[in-house]
Structure 1
Amino acid sequence: MFEFVRKHMKIMQFVLFLLIVPSFVLFGVQGYDSMRQKGDAVAKVDGHEIMQGDWDEAHRAEVDRLRQQMPNLDAKLLDSPEARYGTLERLVRDRVMQSAVLKSNLLVGDQRVARELQNNETIASLRGADGKLDIERYRQLLAARGMTPEQFENQVRNDLAVRQVITGVTQSGFTPPAQANVALASYFEKREVQVVRFPTQEYRARVEATDAELQAYYKDHPEMFQAPEQASIEYVVLDLSAAQKGLAINEADLKTYYEQNASRVGDQEERRASHILVEVPKGAPADVKQKARARAEELLAQVKKAPDSFAEVAKKNSQDTGSAAQGGDLDWFRAGTLAAKPLEDAAFALKAKGEIAGPVESEYGYHVVKLTDLKAPQRRTFEEMKPELEAQMRKEQAQKKYAEAAEAFSNGVYEQSDSLKPVADKLKLEIRTAQAVGRTPQPGATGPLANPKFLQALFSADALERKRNTEAIEIGANQMVSGRVVQHQPARARPFEEVKAQVRELVVNAKAAELARKDGAEKLAAWKATPASATLPGPESVTRMDRGRQPPEVVEAALRADPGQLPALLGVDLGANGYAVVKVNRVLPREAPAAAQAQQEQQQYTRAWAAAEAQAYYELLKDRFKVQVLVAKPKEGAAQ
């Protein structure tokens, strides 16, 4: 065969040309590279695959979003197997909903999108005093998220369409009060119990553990006595702080930046206002709201007739306990700082001191508002703004430099894979070291050593066996790392003598727990046979909401007891903690809650019921669109 290939080389070249070139014509080199980078399929929805690359990208976006919202959040939680799988589930849900939108031909009009954008608090903060949107700041805000205005508005349109899919189910949720009362009464039910505990600790002194028993336990549970796999590593980190080194900011550039952004470097307008609040409880019926509005209109008419009486009227009538004593005064505030946004909008809509408006509806009720003073914005000087401008320009330049360095970093650790020194020297990075690194983050680990993805790369075959650099791994916003294994120690069984004390503790505890169970079961049998002989402590009440001093197993057993068979004696196995005998005496009726609390519970139950129906509908959609998740759900506490 090889002789044939050699003799007919030109023919074979022509055949290969025919096979390969059309593929590149159809898909392009970029398509091949894209398919390679996307990896394997991790899920399927309606015949369309979700690739590993899609999943990684979605999780990176989710991690960045959470880090921005909660900077102090533990990095281990963000990149745990459970967190990553949660991202995949959300990605699958998004695709299911998108398929439902397409199949249902749901459309969202331009006016609906416009209303949604007008109600967006972030966009509202970009409006000037005249109510006009600062288009340039709007574009900058979206560019920071990697989006154009058109992409963002299409995303909003899609979100609204997706919302329609499930809204019909959630808004139609209805639970009759009788049904809700039965469920709520069961949930809040109290039971009177008497509990005798047989704790493991009290039986330990009665236990003897022979060397033969210890040896047998050691041999039967080898996984419990393993010295973990460990590695000594080197690693380098590229981040914004590294990119900022050596940056010099030119003062002329600062002045140019100041002049170009003159409209945005001034102080914000401040206003001072007073208000009178007529409170409306959340979820109040229409007639209650109508009465509150009528009262607010009466107060509005009163203060308009005598504007100077506003403070006295507020002291006597306002239900805002925080400001009523001060005549309704809200002090000075800027746009975006008041808790009640409709009240703030009304205050900024007033044109001159002394003007009064209302009633203004907010989540708290109805407001009558009076503008008492205002400070026009003043442009700050270049010298006043210089530290802020310099920090901003330094950040922007560092971001640009980081983007350039990231490519060099990724290429460098790959092209010279036997050492981190070349890329460290080129980009002026510090080579760091760490000892006793395992496959999972150690308690208290921070930075790259707390990142499961980086640790997984360090313990890959390529890094362990060939001692090559890991690929450049993104572990956060503007942060990449690469490492290499210097020394590796595989997992090993610890010698018996080294762990003998630990083995003894486990064996003694297991035997003591067994004695506790045996003693408790015997007492239970004797007391059932002769109830009068039972020596029980005084009664106490337990509920799901308040289990008192009792472990959850005891409370669950007590509440599961058949109410038609009370009083009843039960045995409860507490596992390693021993045993308990529980006498359930009677069901204690729940005290009737206050009207407001009862209404709140009814609403919570209705919301829970609507959520359950929405979840059931989603499961139906998953079946309809033949959802397949192709990766296993991680077990609790699993490492990535």
Structure 2
Amino acid sequence: MFDFVRTHTRLLQFLLVLLIFPSFVFFGVQGYSSFTEGGNATVAEVDGHAIKQQQWDMAHQQQAERLRRQMPNVDPKLLDSPQFKRETLDQLVRERVLLSAAEKQHLAVNDDRLQRLFISDPQYAFLRKPDGSINNEMLAAQGMSSADFAERLRRDLTLRQVMEGVTQSAPDTPAARQISFNALLQQRQVQLQRFNAADYTARVNPSDAELKAYYDGHQAQFKAPEQAVIEYVVLGVDALQQDLSVSEEDLRKYYDENAARYTSAEQRRASHILVASDKDQPAAERAKAKAKAEALLAELRKNPASFAEVAKKESQDPGSAQRGGDLDFFARGAMVKPFEDAAYAMKPGEISNVVESDFGYHIIRLDAVRGGEKKPFEAVRPEIEAEVKKQLAQRRYTEAAEQFTNTVYEQSDSLQPVMDKLKLKKQTATVQRTPAPGATGALASPKLLEAVFSNDVLRNKRNTEAVEVGANQLVSARVTEYRPERVRPFEEVQLQVRERVVNEQALALARKDGQARLAQLQQGGDAAAGSLPAAVTVSRAERGDLAPAALDAVLRADASKLPAVLGVDVPQGYVVARLLKVESPKADAPQLVALQGQYAQAWAAAEGRAYYEALKKRFDVKIKAPAVAAVPADAAASK
């Protein structure tokens, strides 16, 4: 019990979030209350609450940094991709939606439940050593106050309640299970004959007239998009740091003024004996417990060496009693205050008087002290220099941003003046009205591209206004060449046209032969089917190399009268199928047994998604950030 109270730190918080609420794996301790609200574009709204660009940027940076620590070899481009950034925004929105739902439903988690959960829930067992104590080495590496942890854990458990009411009541009846399993595991034996367009390409040779006719009728397929060739400059904190220098004197002054940052936290190792007595117990019960503690203390005063033996026998803290009362090392903020105050006032080897807390009465022995050492200046000098430069650049940014904004506007016929004034580097790019897939930085900003394609910038070749594309980041661009949308001439796309016409004509031949074969089977029955390949068994779980459209047709086919023949158009051509046999899954089939446990989880997940979508509508979620193009699905060939 007492171990739980003293060991709230950042790692436990992160792992609990990962276990309890996967959608919060992207975020640290900071809640919405810690984000600043001013001076940023709104990227989303939930129940009237704005999510600002700065919040999004901060959450993205935190998640990227976590993944870098966990996977040092991760591709940096992945962490800066539009899809990754959008996932972060989706998580911010989800948390805000669930916070609103929890507030409306008056959900909360009290201290007792937090404590019981940690003690009784098996999912937290991995945070305890084999002897039942907390793994302090893991926790200390994270550096988090107990107040921060308790706030976050309480909130995450509260948010879990929002979804649990739905996900834990998902339907799971034998009849529904049977229907679902039958649809997934039912097997059908079928003979297949494929007519692939690729086998017909050698038989087609379209004429120039056919190619030109196709081109004339499908010119929209051969358009070159509207483009602008631009030059642009970016003002950001990173750019301002480049020319900054900091004197050795200033670095040492910063080191001295921030000594606490470079001093390891003092930790103390103590053992204790607890006579448990909850703060809400009657006064008489508390007095009885105190008297017992006083008696134990008197015994220890006579024989201090018996502390561990007495703790094993008399202490009512199950987490430490078996270890002779040992609580291992802990820092300030990890213990309840009366205990901490006593421990930090003692000398190693000293035994305290009886200390009262909400949990009862403690006798404390201080065993060791460590930490408190200050890192030498030389060891942290690079870190200090980077931090000081960053702070100076951030202070300089406000003034530089004003200069940047005024200069690109007042001298709008060139970017050179602002480049010279602020020592910025010119960059070039070719852009369209919407961000290109995979675009990063300024080129991923719809606001900048909108400015680039404005009438004044296009026609008069003027600078765009200063556009904020991120936290402490301004951009201005000018168009050096404009390329309007145009239909590319036939000569330029003739090879593409030919490829499409050949594919189209080959597909038509394949389908024609496939339909003829289908008619033959329908009229000739078993005699006509003699030349079909051997039967194969397919199901939704095991489709083999059958194209999805063909598999769906085979599984939907009327099996009341067998054999049954059918034909299916597929992207690659045409498939003729002869259905021979239908087999439903047996009750003891290994696949069926394995799916029993997954069925309820699948229903719960589906119900949870549907409920969350309903909450998004209820709380009027508005995403104002640009949509991210979907990642293309795997185009693996299916026959």
Report the TM-score when normalising by structure 1: 0.60
Matching residue of 2:316? none
Pick one of 392, 416, 420 that aligns with 1:425: 420
Write the deviation string for residues 84-133 of structure 1: whole angstroms up to 9, x where unpaired.
6x78877776665455445434455577689999999xxx9xx9979999
Q: Secondary structure at the match of 1:580?
A: strand
Pick one of 606, 624, 627 that aligns with 1:612: 606
Matching residue of 2:431? 437
Write the deviation string for residues 46-67 of structure 1: whole angstroms up to 9, x where unpaired.
xx5x77xx57566545544554
For 1:482, the aligned partner's letter is S
- Cα displacement (A) at 1:520: 0.3
- Cα displacement (A) at 1:247: 2.3
Write the deviation string for residues 428-465 of structure 1: whole angstroms up to 9, x where unpaired.
1011223x433345577654345555334322334323
Question: For residues 620 and 212 of structure 2, what CA distance do their matches in structure 1 show?
Answer: 50
Matching residue of 1:228? 225
Pick one of 441, 448, 458 that aligns with 1:454: 448
Q: What residue ranges of structure 2 are gaps of 5+ in the alignment?
A: 1-36, 69-74, 129-133, 268-328, 331-347, 349-368, 632-639
Contact (CA 8 Å) 1:79, 1:453: kept in 2 or not? no
Q: Secondary structure at the match of 2:188?
A: strand
- State yes or no: 1:467 paired with 2:471: no
Matching residue of 1:30? none
Aligned residue runs from structure 1 range 542-581, under 5 A? 542-575=538-571, 577-581=572-576
Contact (CA 8 Å) 1:76, 1:441: kept in 2 or not? no
Question: For residues 480 and 487 of structure 1, what CA distance do their matches in structure 2 show?
Answer: 22
Pick one of 533, 536, 551 that aligns with 1:540: 536
Question: For residues 130 and 585 of structure 1, what CA distance do their matches in structure 2 show?
Answer: 64
Question: For residues 130 and 542 of structure 1, what CA distance do their matches in structure 2 show?
Answer: 53
Contact (CA 8 Å) 2:40, 2:52: kept in 1 or not? no
From the superposition, tell whether residues 258 and 99 of structure 1 become closer, same or farther in structure 2 (CA, over 3 Å).
closer
From the superposition, tell whether residues 482 and 166 of structure 1 become closer, same or farther in structure 2 (CA, over 3 Å).
same
Question: For residues 449 and 62 of structure 1, what CA distance do their matches in structure 2 show?
Answer: 21
From the superposition, tell whether residues 442 and 631 of structure 1 become closer, same or farther in structure 2 (CA, over 3 Å).
closer
For 2:195, the aligned partner's letter is F
For 2:576, the aligned partner's letter is V
For 1:492, the aligned partner's letter is R
Q: Secondary structure at the match of 1:504?
A: helix
Pick one of 173, 183, 194 that aligns with 2:191: 194
Write the deviation string for residues 208-236 of structure 1: whole angstroms up to 9, x where unpaired.
43343333322221211112222221111
Matching residue of 2:634? none
- State yes or no: 1:515 paired with 2:513: no
Question: For residues 139 and 503 of structure 2, what CA distance do their matches in structure 1 show?
Answer: 72
Matching residue of 2:242? 245
Matching residue of 2:5? none
Question: For residues 194 and 393 of structure 2, what CA distance do their matches in structure 1 show?
Answer: 64
Write the deviation string for residues 330-385 of structure 1: whole angstroms up to 9, x where unpaired.
xxxx99xxxxxxxxxxxxxxxx9xxxxxxxxxxxxxxxxxxxxx997965433333
Pick one of 518, 529, 532 that aligns with 2:523: 529
From the superposition, tell whether residues 474 and 128 of structure 1 become closer, same or farther in structure 2 (CA, over 3 Å).
farther
Contact (CA 8 Å) 1:97, 1:162: kept in 2 or not? yes
- Cα displacement (A) at 1:579: 0.9
Write the deviation string for residues 139-192 of structure 1: whole angstroms up to 9, x where unpaired.
9x9xxxxxxx89x98787666544433321222335246643542343234333
Pick one of 154, 170, 180 that aligns with 2:167: 170
Q: Secondary structure at the match of 2:550?
A: helix
Q: Secondary structure at the match of 1:548?
A: coil
From the superposition, tell whether residues 427 and 632 of structure 1 become closer, same or farther in structure 2 (CA, over 3 Å).
closer
From the superposition, tell whether residues 637 and 262 of structure 1 become closer, same or farther in structure 2 (CA, over 3 Å).
closer
Aligned residue runs from structure 1 range 18-417, under 5 A? 48=48, 54=51, 59-60=56-57, 63-70=60-67, 72=75, 74=77, 78-79=81-82, 97=98, 100-109=101-110, 161-173=158-170, 175-176=172-173, 179-180=176-177, 182-259=179-256, 265=262, 380-402=375-397, 405-417=400-412
Contact (CA 8 Å) 2:97, 2:619: kept in 1 or not? no
Matching residue of 2:635? none
Q: What residue ranges of structure 1 are gaps of 5+ in the alignment?
A: 1-33, 142-148, 271-333, 336-351, 353-373
Question: For residues 82 and 410 of structure 2, what CA distance do their matches in structure 1 show?
Answer: 28
- Cα displacement (A) at 1:256: 4.3
- Cα displacement (A) at 1:556: 2.4
Contact (CA 8 Å) 1:570, 1:583: kept in 2 or not? yes
Question: For residues 580 and 381 of structure 2, what CA distance do their matches in structure 1 show?
Answer: 75
Contact (CA 8 Å) 1:55, 1:88: kept in 2 or not? no
Question: For residues 45 and 97 of structure 2, what CA distance do their matches in structure 1 show?
Answer: 11
Matching residue of 1:505? 499
Fraction of identical pairs, as percent:
43
From the superposition, tell whether residues 132 and 43 of structure 1 become closer, same or farther in structure 2 (CA, over 3 Å).
closer
From the superposition, tell whether residues 635 and 205 of structure 1 become closer, same or farther in structure 2 (CA, over 3 Å).
farther
Question: For residues 473 and 115 of structure 1, what CA distance do their matches in structure 2 show?
Answer: 52
Matching residue of 2:480? 486
CA RMSD of aligned residues (A): 5.1
